[in-house]
Structure 1
């Protein structure tokens, strides 16, 4: 395998709040607490393109969004006794991909997306500071999610998983790949920068099922002997808790979100696929009212899907900047009792337990939350100046209830949205104070921003 194996081997190894009610949380935006006045933006999108270089943009439940980027099994998300057959040229007769406790991040290498490695290399090629180059090279060894933000991007998924399997067979140890499923009809209904390709009124539901979910299902079913984590539809269900009746969050959108997320988690329910539904972040559903609404929506959708065993839990802070914990920030907390993602995970776990989902686990996106005090308002989500990479991907990090892992869902360096007024898909939040207005379209590589995220990394690279 030569040169490719050298790249493959550069993977990262894993060895309740209380307070006033809030209204209008919004994706990435702070919900105003009762009596707190006008809520800050309810969210918006920004993109996270597939780190594989396909696609443009990928939202995140943290207020981001713009796209980028099988026979369903019946078992739990914990495969038992599954093994892989060595690919041609592999060193192993089989690799046991089972997990002891159902956590897909434990005892596995996390696959490093070659597309993201190439993006980082493009920045290395522009950098003359040798110390900075060495830090960038470290980033090339960190796993990021592969975003499926449009139908076209699905065509690259099989090859991506093939490379992960090649690594697994070469190293004789489990390899976990992380994908983001993100192409709902009327996607990211409260954003401008992250609207998707499918519209409900233009046959988007049928296309989502037949052209997006069905081929993803087939590809995942064709890779049964490797661990796959699927993060389901950032910036979707949380919008139903806080933004109905605003912008594109219509009754038709609500129906599509509920039914198609249920369809997706049912169709992708396989023993080797571990699903985490997007659950916003502390600055969106952190208020008790919002937690309660969100938990009930999650419960309704999971029940509508038939309670698929493969739904391991929820992903928080996707593409957002909220720190894990802190006592204060430079902006008004607006009576939100959850100051960080640890607080929020604990609170949401309690809310979920109240609707019969007390067994669910969590992952937190730590790709850009290393630095605090970078926003004048909690709702600012677009290419925030001063952001830094946060904790590296890690299994069972502790700090909150049933926390499976820290993970870099949003590939640092992918733009959240274009920063120049008058450009297509321009969102006002990408021109507000604290936003880097040099930014290209959501999901496109933003070299200058990547450089700053590397410099500001905390812990340092």
Structure 2
């Protein structure tokens, strides 16, 4: 226990920072616009990791906030005064997991997925450069999301949360775990690389509810003394704003997306679960028309779900490369007023306020947005060559309105999609000039790409 606990406590601090506006764009399905709100491509689909599991590896923690909150917060998804028992072992009589202001990232350690630690270790074992190995070891201490991208992955969730509770009880301070709920019927309707296992015409809606959401709900309910952040269905509702009538984005798909996202956020509405609905990124919904469409869709779905208090806000740039602020890029801005994720969050906050959602907060995925000038077009999203890890997870980073945190939603190193034409689930974007065509299937560990993301990290590791 002593050695393990020493590793757990070797963590970085959650520090607030300031920022300004601007940026570049593109992701596992970014949509670049060619006019006022007209995207040329979309689909976050590729860029979606398979569940990393709870494999071998030592769980660590990153981001210790400024002390343990002493009062319960007010607002969506804020627990009122919940304590963690020592059921999973540890020395604490109880840990208060309530929040002062409703932000689940404040005053908490971020749980590091042991499965991701093991993947990184596989790259360390292949590396001889000592400097590079040291940088990779730093990545093993950074929290990444646990992806529930298929029914089978749900079976690993309970053990994952048990490990987080064990850490919480060992350190006597709140631990926040982040999961991604990602298995809608007709998933990623505008992409090819990450189409899911469920089809609407094959009973996918019923299976989604009974075999996916229901067991997730049961597992989350069985872990009431932990802060859990749930990122809801990347690449779903934004497709309804820009891609209806294209590829697999049919009326049947639209109905399933609207109803099943509403079902998910309603079923997972619990005091200790903080939900952030996927809201694309600046290179997709950055145009004013797209912002308006997206905000209205979000409002409709949240209302259909009964306005659950657990919906804290929205997640942007999931699995994408859009930088936080403006940098000179080689592609045309294409009349998009949002030059980066700070701009986009500010603009989307305004659009959401216009439909009665002015109280919502945001998180930005910064896992691979550290470098600009890596694409010919900001709609290019698949394993972009030259990408680097971005800002580390941190609470209240500043730079945009109601920004709860930077977080690594996409585990760097998991492939966006297979890069060889003719392979199953091949997407044309994975063969474009800026894509690394050595890539394996979406979600499979891509060692060579991970190495480059480490080398190009900005800030450096």
TM-score (norm 1): 0.91
Paired residues, what number? 461
Aligned CA distance change for structure 1 residues 203 and 210 (closer, same or farther; 3 Å): same
SS at match of 1:13: coil
Q: Provide the rounded CA distance (Å) in 2 between the counterparts of 1:226 and 1:217.
A: 14
Per-residue deviation at 1:382? 0.2
Per-residue deviation at 1:47? 3.1
Aligned CA distance change for structure 1 residues 226 and 247 (closer, same or farther; 3 Å): same
Aligned CA distance change for structure 1 residues 174 and 19 (closer, same or farther; 3 Å): closer
Contact 2:74 2:100 in 1 (8 A): no
Cα shift readout 1:214-273 (whole Å, capped 9, x = no counterpart): 000000000000000000000000000000000000000000000000000000000000
Q: Provide the rounded CA distance (Å) in 1 between the counterparts of 2:147 and 2:65.
A: 11
Contact 2:60 2:141 in 1 (8 A): no
Contact 2:319 2:409 in 1 (8 A): yes
Per-residue deviation at 1:56? 18
Q: Provide the rounded CA distance (Å) in 2 between the counterparts of 1:438 and 1:287.
A: 33
Contact 1:61 1:236 in 2 (8 A): no
Aligned CA distance change for structure 1 residues 149 and 3 (closer, same or farther; 3 Å): farther
Q: Provide the rounded CA distance (Å) in 1 between the counterparts of 2:73 and 2:270.
A: 4
Per-residue deviation at 1:298? 0.1
Cα shift readout 1:24-45 (whole Å, capped 9, x = no counterpart): 9997566565758985323352
Cα shift readout 1:61-95 (whole Å, capped 9, x = no counterpart): 99999999999999941112110111354110000
Cα shift readout 1:315-348 (whole Å, capped 9, x = no counterpart): 0000000000014311111100100000000000
SS at match of 1:34: strand
Contact 1:27 1:190 in 2 (8 A): no
Q: Provide the rounded CA distance (Å) in 2 between the counterparts of 1:454 and 1:49.
A: 18
Q: Provide the rounded CA distance (Å) in 2 between the counterparts of 1:347 and 1:428.
A: 31
SS at match of 2:329: coil
Per-residue deviation at 1:46? 1.4
Contact 2:11 2:63 in 1 (8 A): no
Aligned CA distance change for structure 1 residues 445 and 403 (closer, same or farther; 3 Å): same
Q: Provide the rounded CA distance (Å) in 2 between the counterparts of 1:218 and 1:131.
A: 44
Aligned CA distance change for structure 1 residues 75 and 43 (closer, same or farther; 3 Å): closer
Contact 1:277 1:314 in 2 (8 A): yes
Aligned CA distance change for structure 1 residues 386 and 88 (closer, same or farther; 3 Å): closer
Q: Provide the rounded CA distance (Å) in 1 between the counterparts of 2:70 and 2:220.
A: 6
SS at match of 2:154: helix
Q: Provide the rounded CA distance (Å) in 2 between the counterparts of 1:66 and 1:382.
A: 37
Aligned CA distance change for structure 1 residues 296 and 58 (closer, same or farther; 3 Å): farther
Q: Provide the rounded CA distance (Å) in 1 between the counterparts of 2:249 and 2:67.
A: 18
Matched, 1:450 2:418: no
Per-residue deviation at 1:49? 2.0
Aligned CA distance change for structure 1 residues 321 and 226 (closer, same or farther; 3 Å): same
Aligned CA distance change for structure 1 residues 194 and 22 (closer, same or farther; 3 Å): farther
Aligned CA distance change for structure 1 residues 168 and 60 (closer, same or farther; 3 Å): closer
Aligned CA distance change for structure 1 residues 11 and 252 (closer, same or farther; 3 Å): farther
Counterpart residue number, 1:319: 319
Unaligned stretches of 5+ residues in structure 1 = none
SS at match of 2:392: coil
Aligned CA distance change for structure 1 residues 428 and 203 (closer, same or farther; 3 Å): same
Contact 2:22 2:327 in 1 (8 A): no
Cα shift readout 1:112-165 (whole Å, capped 9, x = no counterpart): 000000000000000000000000000000000000000000000000000000
Query: Which region of structure 1 is more displaced relative to structure 2, 60-69 or 201-210?
Result: 60-69
Contact 1:57 1:443 in 2 (8 A): no
Aligned CA distance change for structure 1 residues 448 and 33 (closer, same or farther; 3 Å): closer
Aligned CA distance change for structure 1 residues 324 and 388 (closer, same or farther; 3 Å): same
Q: Provide the rounded CA distance (Å) in 1 between the counterparts of 2:60 and 2:202.
A: 24
Query: Which region of structure 1 is more displaced relative to structure 2, 24-33 or 303-312?
Result: 24-33
Unaligned stretches of 5+ residues in structure 2 = none
Aligned CA distance change for structure 1 residues 381 and 26 (closer, same or farther; 3 Å): closer
Aligned CA distance change for structure 1 residues 352 and 246 (closer, same or farther; 3 Å): same
Aligned CA distance change for structure 1 residues 52 and 16 (closer, same or farther; 3 Å): closer
